[in-house]
Amino acid sequence: MKKLIIIFIAFISLVGLNACSDDSSPIFVAQPSTEGISFTSSFAAKYLLSNATKENIADRIIWSAADFGVSTNISYELLAAIDVDADPYKIIGTTSETNYGITVDQLLSFAKDLGLDDDPTTTNTDGTPNNTGVVYLKVKASMGSTGTNEVMSEVQPINIEWIETVANDGGCPSLYAVGAGLDNIGWNFVPAGEMVCDGDVLQLKASFINENFRFFQESGDWASDLKYSYYEGEGYTIDANLEDAQDDANFKFIGTPGIYTLTIDNVNKTIVLTPSNSLWTVGGAVPGGWSFDAANTVEFIESTPDVWSASIALANEKFRFFTAFDDWNSGLNYSYYADQNFTIDAAFEDEGEGDGNFVFVGTPGTYTLTVNAVDKTITLE
């Protein structure tokens, strides 16, 4: 019995020693890495802003992950200010991710704080446009609900420019059309996609297929787009061959593929598509003679925007082009194209006196005749 009591006391002592050992074990406290966090975005040289694009994301700001020794319960705040030494910076957004999409509208609020605007008649005191400025960004990482562990990035300045509503000679700025729905343009900023304004009306002739496209205020600036919803919200009547692509940005062409002229009328608030028109030849030099003959009058199809071509038999006589079948008032003679500075094949001459028709003086035969209003040439092959 005495031996049994001794064993029990030894067991109790061992348990007590273990308990003391547990109480003295080290407690883990998370600490931020001395390396901090840093921006990893490729920042644009300049961020273009406008009220029309305020719903767009100007850029997705990306940074490295904070290292507190744990990977959970970490939050980030993207901060901004118009003064690098501001205290505190304004909170743009909070996230548990290492990126945040800053919107044009958010940057516009800082543009207003800087005293910027889109009015070309207002300037800085030195006479320079008051539409550019700098916004300073930084990101803060915190761990836990109390935020006692924090780490801050370095400050990143970004340049902003509020696009001035400068009217060009035609009355409004150009737009740039881009997208797969414009078969001859695609998702590229190219000269063929520029829509030059003439009296608050912009036009584009393009080869339309059943795909998406959209408009941009600045060539090369993907953040300057004008969405389908923008025009819809502004009360524009939009052609039935166009619909909302339901992707938060694009127009979708749903009509019969072909060449169309797209017209944006900013006065009457309409967007209209007009199908391409053919050219027809009538005269003694061409099949069908001096009459509009459905069976024999040669039709020149617009195969690409502003380029018409057809195979035609030519005799040494006169002829002219017409833009509408059976409409004598739609004629385009040699004199018309000469006045438009077209380079015309040497096999054609100007009738001179009279109606100013084309006269074919080459070897009679069948040719491919092309009227190219892009390069301003009329050629025979």
Whether 196 and 262 share a structural domain? yes
Of the listed ranges 32-41, 153-162, 326-335, the least confidently predicted one is 32-41
Whether 314 and 364 share a structural domain? yes
Q: What are phi and psi of 129, to 5 degrees?
A: -60, 135
Q: Residue 346: pLDDT band by 50, 70, 90 thresholds?
A: very high
Per-residue tokens: 114: 């800087």
> Residue 146: which CATH number?
2.60.40
- The whole-number pLDDT of residue 145 equals 62
Q: How many domains does the chain have?
A: 3
Look at residue 20 and tell me if it is in a domain. Answer: no
- The whole-number pLDDT of residue 366 equals 97
- Helix ranges restricted to H, 68-215: 104-113
- The whole-number pLDDT of residue 310 equals 96
- The whole-number pLDDT of residue 148 equals 61
Please check whether residue 33 is in contact with residue 66, taking contact to mean a CB–CB distance below 8 angstroms. Answer: yes
Look at residue 18 and tell me if it is in a domain. Answer: no
Q: Which residues does residue 259 pair with via DSSP β-bridges, in sequence order?
A: 207
pLDDT at 353 over 70: yes
Q: Find the mean pLDDT for residues 20-25.
A: 40
C-alpha to C-alpha distance for 187 and 190, rounded to whole angstroms: 9
Residue 354 lies in domain: 279-380
Specify the higher pLDDT residue, 11 or 123. 123
**Residues 144-200 pLDDT 10s:** 765 568 899 999 999 999 988 754 454 688 999 999 999 999 999 999 999 988 888
pLDDT at 12 over 90: no
Q: Residue 28: pLDDT band by 50, 70, 90 thresholds?
A: very low
Question: Pairing between strand 251-253 and 242-244?
Answer: antiparallel
pLDDT at 271 over 50: yes
Whole-Å CA distances, 203 to 195, 252, 270 = 5, 17, 12
- The whole-number pLDDT of residue 32 equals 44
Domain termination residue (choose one: 162, 194, 218): 162
- The whole-number pLDDT of residue 35 equals 59
Whether 306 and 261 share a structural domain? no
Of the listed ranges 26-35, 258-267, 313-322, the least confidently predicted one is 26-35
- The whole-number pLDDT of residue 185 equals 94
- The whole-number pLDDT of residue 118 equals 87
Domain termination residue (choose one: 162, 192, 212): 162
pTM above 0.85, yes or no: no
- The whole-number pLDDT of residue 164 equals 80
Buried b (16+ CB within 10 A) or exposed e, 267-283: eeeebbbeebeebbbbb
pLDDT at 326 over 70: yes
Of the listed ranges 6-15, 159-168, 266-275, the least confidently predicted one is 6-15
- The whole-number pLDDT of residue 154 equals 93
Whether 149 and 198 share a structural domain? no
**Residues 88-106 pLDDT 10s:** 999 999 998 999 989 888 9
- The whole-number pLDDT of residue 321 equals 95
Look at residue 361 and tell me if it is in a domain. Answer: yes
**% the chain with pLDDT above 70:** 87
Look at residue 168 and tell me if it is in a domain. Answer: no
Whether 98 and 203 share a structural domain? no
Of the listed ranges 24-38, 208-222, 287-301, the least confidently predicted one is 24-38
Look at residue 255 and tell me if it is in a domain. Answer: yes
Whether 255 and 296 share a structural domain? no
> Residue 283: which CATH number?
2.60.40.3620
Whether 254 and 217 share a structural domain? yes
Q: What is the overall mean pLDDT for the chain?
A: 86
- Whose CA is closest to 66, among 22, 20, 27, 97? 97
Q: Residue 18: pLDDT band by 50, 70, 90 thresholds?
A: very low
DSSP string, 249-270: S-EEE-S-SEEEEEEEETTTTE
- The whole-number pLDDT of residue 149 equals 81
Whether 336 and 375 share a structural domain? yes
